[in-house]
Chains A and B, each alone.
Chain A
Amino acid sequence: MTTTTVNGRVESLPDDPDALLIDIVRDQLKLTGTKLVCGAGVCGACTVLVDGAPVASCLMPAQAAAGKAVTTVEGIGAAQLHPVQKAFMAHDALQCGFCTPGFIVEATAFCDQWRATRGTAVPSREEIGAALSGHLCRCGAYDGIFRAVADACAGRFDGDNVAAPRIEARDKVTGAAKYTVDINHDGQLEGLILRSREAHARITALDLAPARALAGVIAVSLLGDDKIVRYVGEPIAAVAAKDRKSALAALAAVKLSYEKLPAVVGLDAGRKDGAPVVFDKASRKRAGNVSEAAGGPAPWKQNIRGPTAVFSTRAKKARSWVDEARQASNKLLVEATFRTATQQHACLEPHAAVARFDGDRLTLHASTQQVFHLKEQIAKRYKLDHDKVRVIADHVGGGFGSKASLGTETIAAIELAREAKAPVRVAYDRQEELSVAGYRPAAELKVALLPSEQGGLKALSVTAHADTGAATNSTIAGLARLIYPAEAKELSDFDVISNLPPGAAFRGPGGPPMAFAVEQSIDEAALRLNVDPIALRKRWDPDPNRQRLYDWASGLDIWRNRKPQQNGRYRRGIGVATGYWLYLWQPNVKVEVAVKGGRIVASTATQDIGTGTRSVLADTIAREFDLEPSDIDVRIGDSSLPEGPGSGGSRVTASVMPPTLQAVRKLKAQILEQATRKPAPGSNAPWRELIARSPDIAVVETRGEDGKNTAPGIRSPLREVGLIGMVFGWMMRRFSNIAVGAGVPSSVQVIEVEVDTWLGHVRVLNVHTGIAVGKIASPALARSQACGAVIQGLGYALYEARELDPKTGDVLTAGMEDYRIPGIADTPEIDVHFDEAGFDHVLGNSVGIGEASTVPTSAAVANAIHNAIGVRLTEIPIRPDRIVAALKGRDAA
């Protein structure tokens, strides 16, 4: 038997030639700080040191570590934190934290080697980018990582002081933070899903008996009652066994017969007359939902659902004015067709659930954006008492909208665990995560924009067809109603359904594609009107929050020194774009703020998907009591706590902050009332003394309505559009438990790019992002979110595309090497400007940042590319193939 040393302890290695180093570390030694993400050496989440050198443990055969010394993230800060760990904490170089252990391991090796040879010289961004090029972060924490690694190398974190703006940062940099995939109960089984290999078929027989005949195997059917599968990857059955290998064998044993049905794949084929119909009338309720809220009624014929055109205003006028302008060859009429790509969420922690029954009580660990609502959904589906179901998510490795429903991973884990009478884990592999776990639908957008002769906006027409797969309810064009008022607007949304996995909500659903098309059209109008693009937006867009952002943007040096289109091989350009999202909050959210054992404890059943919810609560309460955030215990991620909001629709901060502040006020009064001794006169920490001596008191407050007094021009955007808006708002509240508040969270971005016209490469040099989301509750974390939003937006603009087989719909980009998310070296300098006004009517004055901040990025990049090369790229991602095609036949350098 061979051995290796792991974190200083001698450990035995199995003889199995297929055992990999990560299996030893995670499964045999339970060192779960090391994460399995891509399984292909692309993302670096599994990085460990072998004899001091970073290696991808997901590829290294375990036997190759024989006689060597392995150090995992747990071994790095074991005695005392490494300067790199302290620097990551201080610079908030992490969000969800799932990639963080890999980055920490690599960065400590880089830093140690750098210090040994270069002393405390500061490495450049290029040197850091190259050293960390084998790591990926989906939240986009790269800006903080650059600063953290540079400062650690420079010796600025050699001392003992450890400060972190994110309260759980220490757990994330040491690998101690437990995610759903890390849960390992005694006797836990591993579950896998059997998925359709056909794009469209009727399952005529499903025989689970051969699988069940294998020792220790549990199998359940996941088929719907119509027994039809509508895309490659649709779940058919689930099996569980003692380990993955046995579960794979069980999957292979399941016997299946089916009758193939004609299939149709994608936006263009799905729209054709006579295309095979995916959902007949009886089965339409089986379609998924690509939005954050439930949808309204819409016409639905064959595979086309729509138009949804309720946000149009004087649609016929808009159409006739555009037709007239076209016939008159009006030079001001901007018309174009834009195409956006399917964007995968690509969460680094896959969709995962671990279900365990103790008698009739179910405990479910889930990688979810909604612990409370998921509990309610499970209780309803399985007819369980609400207090017999508990959903736990201590840490969630990214969500971005894809983990906001009761998904197959959860259903399979529950049903297998119930059948097995043993705990079961179901965790998607990367292929599943990048194919069937949801996506932002691709879209085709036809835009016609007509300025008036007086320089106003006369008509805007947007028709969007979204590639929603086995799902519906895309709203892209409709979002163009709430910005740039015009004399008439015709806004039509269509879902094109086909035999592809269902899309899902993704960070500002519909917002980025709308902005990509409309913001480029506005840019084009500015060119034709010969008006500065920011000045034109200022003229056409009266929203008071954005008016302030336009003033900020037009004052930027980079904007004022903008040059016309350039020549030569490398050409630089600067673009601007605007984005917004609705201010949403969740009624009935409750927060408990209590004194327990002389400490302040805040509790609510929400969760932190990397956005910083714990810190928002701790920082807010600490400010009120004049304490440090570390003095506050925050309890979230557990459905047994008071009802909390789902992490979607940028609603968490605006939902929890008001009841928290109300609860703090009441708690203060009760502490004073029950105090037997007043604080010492002149005490500089009166509340600390009072709290330490206070008996246990708990106050629970519910999110109330906002104040009616708003600043000039701040109104509910839905009220602004009249009756249909009010109906829409009522429906959101009634059916989706989401309230639409007054004021519009907004972002304006100015981006500089450099285009290599020979190799088609676009380099983003710098980004200025101005954000108006009210008062910033936790500045360092808000900055991290703002930067991450830009980086995800750059991925959308330049790199990310789901590629399919055109006949079967097989997702070909089902690994992280083919689905290309931005890396650290693709990260530009990012300047974040917060305009903190505009939400004084909200208690605490803060609303969410997550979505508004990512909406304009792709359009600003495209406008910058147009400024550089004089060609408008109407299709994203703007990859090298598209740049060279756009430039072909033109005067290249």
Chain B
Amino acid sequence: MSAATALAMSAPEFRAAGTDLSERRRSGLSCGEVIDLAASPDTIGIAWGADGAARIGALTAIAAIASDARLAQAYPGIAAAAQGLATPQIRHMATLGGNLAQRSRCWYFRNPQIACLKKGGSDCPARTGNHLYHVAFDLGPCVAPHPSTMAMALLAYDAKVTTDRRSGLSITDLLGDGSNGAADNLLAPGERIERIELPAPLAGERALYKRAISRSYAEWPLVEICVRAVISGGTFQQVHITAGGIAPVPLRLKASEAALQGKPADAATIAQAAALATAGAKPLPMTGYKLELLTGLVRDVVERIAT
């Protein structure tokens, strides 16, 4: 093991519920100091502003987000994403902040014996090796997709992140544009997420979340999307489509959004928009299939939004 890798693996880490960290501690991937995060009223629970906007503490459990009736009413895409990730036991323990700040699920990264960019290494072994479950939008040196489903859903809602040092960060400010292969997020050392602020919901907006997987449950997404839109006078308005599992960071599918904006909510429009979901894609040799799945998902979810 190189000195850089040893240094990367011994960095101090925050621990919320530990659903990601405990596994990395057991495997030896994380061997530095552990700093447990204690909840305060400001960092746990869901609070509502007078304008109907929600604020979610970083230590709020995923299950609490998944089962909150008011949240499901106001931000159905966020509630559905929380319901769709991991397993019931994990959702019960895992927190929103932990979900955003979790480390990559790449099978090379997770093997402490193999050097990679995210562990102080000089190249990405997945790029030249086996990247079956990796990115189809090749935006940076590391080809692992970002693992956070919640980040993908929050991106569709233009959520803002507050840390102990900064506020008003967009999801892109938090996670970057995928060009930094060495990190899973752009938090400074020792900086921690405190809460997430959501803009007030739009009148009449709808949203859905769905992931494509091989089994029925409990699988990291091959591709996942969140679609949010207002349908007014039979046309799409305020369309937000975000996708995960396909790029080093969650992506807005702007070409698909533009193809729907102001257009009639019919099958032909939707099929056209779905075909544009892959605009800008750069698949790896083994990940071309993800583009077919992305197209299928956009068509599926937007059709259901429109009905």
The interface stretch among A578-586, A700-708, A807-815 is: A807-815
The interface stretch among A128-136, A157-165, A512-520 is: A128-136
Q: Is the beta-carbon distance between A760 and B125 smaller than 8 angstroms?
A: no
Q: Is the beta-carbon distance between A133 and B18 smaller than 8 angstroms?
A: no
Q: Is the beta-carbon distance between A885 and B289 smaller than 8 angstroms?
A: yes
Residue of B nearest to A57 (CB): B89
Task: Encode B206-219 as 1/0 by CB contact (under 8 A) with A.
Answer: 00000011111111
* Complex CA–CA separation, A885 to B289 (angstroms): 7
Task: Encode A232-245 as 1/0 by CB contact (under 8 A) with B.
Answer: 00000000000000
* Given A61-B18, A803-B132, A880-B222, also A17-B34 (CB < 8 A): yes
- Our pick among A54, A61, A804, A807 for the contact of B88 (Cβ within 8 Å) is A54
Q: Is the beta-carbon distance between A823 and B90 smaller than 8 angstroms?
A: no
Q: Is the beta-carbon distance between A812 and B108 smaller than 8 angstroms?
A: yes
Interface residues in A850-893 by Cβ distance below 8 A to B read 877, 879-882, 884-885, 888
Report chain A residues within 8 Å CB of B18. Answer: 59-61, 64
* Given A884-B292, A884-B293, also A39-B23 (CB < 8 A): yes
- Our pick among B23, B86, B214, B220 for the contact of A880 (Cβ within 8 Å) is B214
* Given A44-B89, A134-B218, also A813-B212 (CB < 8 A): no
- Our pick among B34, B215, B293 for the contact of A823 (Cβ within 8 Å) is B215
- Our pick among A17, A39, A106, A813 for the contact of B26 (Cβ within 8 Å) is A39
* Complex CA–CA separation, A502 to B34 (angstroms): 39
Interface residues in A18-61 by Cβ distance below 8 A to B read 18, 20, 39-42, 44, 47, 53-56, 58-61
Task: Encode B5-44 as 1/0 by CB contact (under 8 A) with A.
Answer: 0000000000101110011011110000010100000000
- Our pick among A63, A197, A825 for the contact of B36 (Cβ within 8 Å) is A63
- Our pick among B88, B212, B220 for the contact of A817 (Cβ within 8 Å) is B220
Report chain B residues within 8 Å CB of A248. Answer: 28
Q: Count contacts on B: residues with CB < 8 A to the other chain.
A: 50
Q: Is the beta-carbon distance between A759 and B130 smaller than 8 angstroms?
A: no
Q: Is the beta-carbon distance between B107 and A823 smaller than 8 angstroms?
A: no
Interface residues in A101-134 by Cβ distance below 8 A to B read 106, 129-131, 133-134
* Given A133-B87, A823-B215, A823-B218, also A58-B292 (CB < 8 A): no
Report chain A residues within 8 Å CB of B214. Answer: 761, 798-799, 820, 877, 879-880
Q: Is the beta-carbon distance between B92 and A55 smaller than 8 angstroms?
A: yes
Residue of A nearest to B216 (CB): A825
Interface residues in A231-271 by Cβ distance below 8 A to B read 248
Q: Is the beta-carbon distance between B130 and A41 smaller than 8 angstroms?
A: no
Say yes or no: is A645 at the interface (Cβ < 8 Å to chain B): no
- Our pick among B27, B88, B107, B132 for the contact of A133 (Cβ within 8 Å) is B88
Say yes or no: is A805 at the interface (Cβ < 8 Å to chain B): yes
* Given A54-B88, A197-B113, also A818-B107 (CB < 8 A): yes
Q: Is the beta-carbon distance between A761 and B93 smaller than 8 angstroms?
A: no
Q: Is the beta-carbon distance between B108 and A56 smaller than 8 angstroms?
A: no
- Our pick among A20, A55, A759 for the contact of B300 (Cβ within 8 Å) is A759
Say yes or no: is A758 at the interface (Cβ < 8 Å to chain B): yes
Say yes or no: is A806 at the interface (Cβ < 8 Å to chain B): yes
Q: Is the beta-carbon distance between B108 and A133 smaller than 8 angstroms?
A: no
Q: Is the beta-carbon distance between B132 and A41 smaller than 8 angstroms?
A: no
Q: Is the beta-carbon distance between B36 and A759 smaller than 8 angstroms?
A: no
Interface residues in B180-214 by Cβ distance below 8 A to A read 212-214
Q: Is the beta-carbon distance between A814 and B130 smaller than 8 angstroms?
A: no
- Our pick among B17, B89, B130, B292 for the contact of A54 (Cβ within 8 Å) is B89
Say yes or no: is B299 at the interface (Cβ < 8 Å to chain A): yes
Report chain B residues within 8 Å CB of A60. Answer: 17-18, 22, 93
Q: Is the beta-carbon distance between B218 and A805 smaller than 8 angstroms?
A: no
- What is the distance, in angstroms, from A27's C-beta to the closest C-beta of chain B? 14
- Our pick among A130, A826, A888 for the contact of B215 (Cβ within 8 Å) is A826
- Our pick among A134, A431, A806, A818 for the contact of B89 (Cβ within 8 Å) is A134
Q: Is the beta-carbon distance between B217 and A761 smaller than 8 angstroms?
A: no
Report chain A residues within 8 Å CB of B107. Answer: 803, 812-815, 818
Say yes or no: is A469 at the interface (Cβ < 8 Å to chain B): no
* Complex CA–CA separation, A60 to B90 (angstroms): 10
Q: How large is the interface on A (under 10, 10 to 19, 20 to 34, 35 or more residues)?
A: 35 or more
Residue of A nearest to B18 (CB): A61
Residue of A nearest to B214 (CB): A879
- What is the distance, in angstroms, from B86's C-beta to the closest C-beta of chain A? 8
* Complex CA–CA separation, A814 to B107 (angstroms): 8
- Our pick among A106, A134, A798, A888 for the contact of B292 (Cβ within 8 Å) is A888
Report chain A residues within 8 Å CB of B108. Answer: 805, 812
- What is the distance, in angstroms, from B257's C-beta to the closest C-beta of chain A? 20
Say yes or no: is B4 at the interface (Cβ < 8 Å to chain A): no
- What is the distance, in angstroms, from B304's C-beta to the closest C-beta of chain A? 12
Say yes or no: is A822 at the interface (Cβ < 8 Å to chain B): yes
Residue of A nearest to B92 (CB): A53
- Our pick among A17, A133, A799, A815 for the contact of B110 (Cβ within 8 Å) is A815
Say yes or no: is B114 at the interface (Cβ < 8 Å to chain A): yes
Interface residues in B72-102 by Cβ distance below 8 A to A read 86-90, 92-93
Report chain A residues within 8 Å CB of B36. Answer: 17, 61, 63
* Given A44-B87, A59-B18, also A884-B289 (CB < 8 A): yes
Q: Is the beta-carbon distance between A55 and B89 smaller than 8 angstroms?
A: yes
Q: Is the beta-carbon distance between A41 and B216 smaller than 8 angstroms?
A: no
- Our pick among B93, B125, B216, B219 for the contact of A55 (Cβ within 8 Å) is B93
Task: Encode A89-101 as 1/0 by CB contact (under 8 A) with B.
Answer: 0000000000000
- What is the distance, in angstroms, from A823's C-beta to the closest C-beta of chain B? 6
Report chain A residues within 8 Å CB of B28. Answer: 248
Q: Is the beta-carbon distance between B222 and A817 smaller than 8 angstroms?
A: no
Q: Is the beta-carbon distance between A56 and B93 smaller than 8 angstroms?
A: yes
Q: Is the beta-carbon distance between A56 and B90 smaller than 8 angstroms?
A: yes
Q: Is the beta-carbon distance between B34 and A131 smaller than 8 angstroms?
A: no
* Complex CA–CA separation, A248 to B290 (angstroms): 40
Residue of B nearest to A195 (CB): B113
* Complex CA–CA separation, A53 to B67 (angstroms): 14
Say yes or no: is B272 at the interface (Cβ < 8 Å to chain A): no
Say yes or no: is B297 at the interface (Cβ < 8 Å to chain A): yes
Interface residues in B153-167 by Cβ distance below 8 A to A read none
- What is the distance, in angstroms, from B142's C-beta to the closest C-beta of chain A? 16
* Given A133-B216, A823-B216, A880-B212, also A806-B129 (CB < 8 A): yes
Report chain A residues within 8 Å CB of B122. Answer: none
* Complex CA–CA separation, A134 to B299 (angstroms): 29
Report chain B residues within 8 Å CB of A133. Answer: 87-88, 216-218
* Complex CA–CA separation, A44 to B299 (angstroms): 34
* Complex CA–CA separation, A857 to B111 (angstroms): 33
Task: Encode B130-154 as 1/0 by CB contact (under 8 A) with A.
Answer: 1011000000000000000000000
Q: Is the beta-carbon distance between A18 and B25 smaller than 8 angstroms?
A: yes
Residue of B nearest to A126 (CB): B216
Residue of B nearest to A44 (CB): B89
Q: Is the beta-carbon distance between A826 and B212 smaller than 8 angstroms?
A: no
Report chain A residues within 8 Å CB of B120. Answer: none
Interface residues in A726-743 by Cβ distance below 8 A to B read none
- What is the distance, in angstroms, from B123's C-beta to the closest C-beta of chain A? 13
Report chain A residues within 8 Å CB of B220. Answer: 817
Report chain B residues within 8 Å CB of A53. Answer: 92
Report chain B residues within 8 Å CB of A880. Answer: 212-214, 222, 289, 293
- Our pick among A130, A815, A888 for the contact of B217 (Cβ within 8 Å) is A130
Chain A residues engaging chain B, CB cutoff 8 angstroms: 17-18, 20, 39-42, 44, 47, 53-56, 58-61, 63-64, 106, 129-131, 133-134, 197, 248, 431, 758-761, 763, 798-799, 803-807, 810, 812-815, 817-818, 820, 822-823, 825-826, 877, 879-882, 884-885, 888
| A-B CB contact pairs (8 Å), 10 listed | A56-B90, A131-B88, A134-B86, A759-B300, A761-B213, A798-B214, A818-B107, A823-B216, A877-B214, A888-B292
Chain B residues engaging chain A, CB cutoff 8 angstroms: 15, 17-19, 22-23, 25-28, 34, 36, 86-90, 92-93, 105, 107-108, 110-111, 113-114, 125, 129-130, 132-133, 212-220, 222, 288-290, 292-293, 296-297, 299-300
Interface pairs A-B: 10 shortest CB-CB: A134-B87, A758-B296, A881-B289, A133-B217, A825-B216, A884-B292, A812-B107, A59-B22, A17-B34, A56-B89
